Amino acid sequence: MTTSTTIGNNGTTVSSTLLDTMNGTSSATSATGSAGSSSAGANLQTTFLQLLITQMQNQDPTNPMDSSQMTSQIAQIDTVTGISQLNTSLSSLSTQINAGQTSQAALLLGSSVLAPGNSISVTSGTATNFGVQLASAASDMTVNVVNSAGQIVNTINLGAQPAGTVPISWTPVDSSGAALPTGTYTITATGIVNGAAGTATTLTPGTVESVVQGTGGAPSLVLSNGNTVPLTSVAAVL
């Protein structure tokens, strides 16, 4: 049932819904919460106009409403409506970007890529691709190759390297030049960065087997090495 309240001496009435909106009570809140973003903006404008008209009808003739305050209120309602519309537009844009990235990711199916990781599979006598990624230029970069027993079987000297992605093609041999047995090895990269000892991100190869939806709707790649990585983390396509 709709009720109303009389304001002032001229008999002006205000509905209970409008009073709830003015007082911030639950009925106005629930009505607003049940509407969509566009209808919420329209309701907000309607409510503001009702409040403005009621205020003008019941103002003190000897002390009329300050026009600057009315202008400020109108600016505030426009700001709130604009923010709501901007949020809707950004949400739509994000969805479109994710859809476009998913289409691009699908083009990588079957391709070999380098992505963050520290485990490489070695086939005796076959060259192995991996890489390192540097945020800053480094000197005396070295890559240690460690077997499943935790022993360093070879140290690859890369020397000075610039910032960015450094792809490496390596024939898997030990420090004496003998071929390493087939298996899985771990790599770590260290060097001098900005005058101090530092590490680099190691990149391992994998074939893109499928594309899945990742965090926030952005696409991720499922690789043949068992890793699932965001599309944005792919450093190189081999």
- ∠ CA 146-149-155, nearest 5°, is 20
Q: Tokens for 189, please give them.
A: 């990269």
CA distances from 172 to 93, 200, 202 (A): 47, 21, 16
Model's pTM, two decimal places?
Answer: 0.60
- CATH topology for 117-205 is Immunoglobulin-like (2.60.40)
CA distances from 174 to 143, 181, 189 (A): 13, 10, 17
> Does residue 35 register a pLDDT over 70?
no
DSSP sequence for 85-138: HHHHHHHHHHHHHHHHHHHHHHTTTT-EEEEE-SEEEE-TTS-EEEEEEESS-E
Q: Per-residue confidence at 84, pLDDT binned at 50, 70, 90?
A: confident
- As a whole number, the mean pLDDT across the chain is 79
Decide the pairing of beta strands 164-170 and 152-161: unpaired
> Does residue 69 register a pLDDT over 70?
no
Count of residues in the chain: 238
Residue 145 burial (CB count, 10 A): 24
Burial (CB count within 10 angstroms: exposed 0-12, middle 13-18, buried 19+), residue 166: buried
Q: What pLDDT digit, counting tens, does each position of 205-230 carry?
A: 999 999 998 877 788 999 999 999 99
Query: CATH 2.60.40.4070 spans which residues of the chain?
Result: 117-205
> Does residue 104 register a pLDDT over 90?
no
What mean pLDDT do residues 168-174 have?
93
- Of all residues in the chain, what percent carry a pLDDT higher than 70? 74
pLDDT at residue 74, rounded to an integer = 67
DSSP sequence for 134-147: ESS-EEEEEEEEE-
> Does residue 183 register a pLDDT over 60?
yes
SS3 181: coil
Q: Tokens for 87, please give them.
A: 């949020």
Alpha-carbon torsion angle 15, 20, 23, 25, nearest 10: 160
* Contact indicator for 4, 13 with CB cutoff of 8 Å: yes
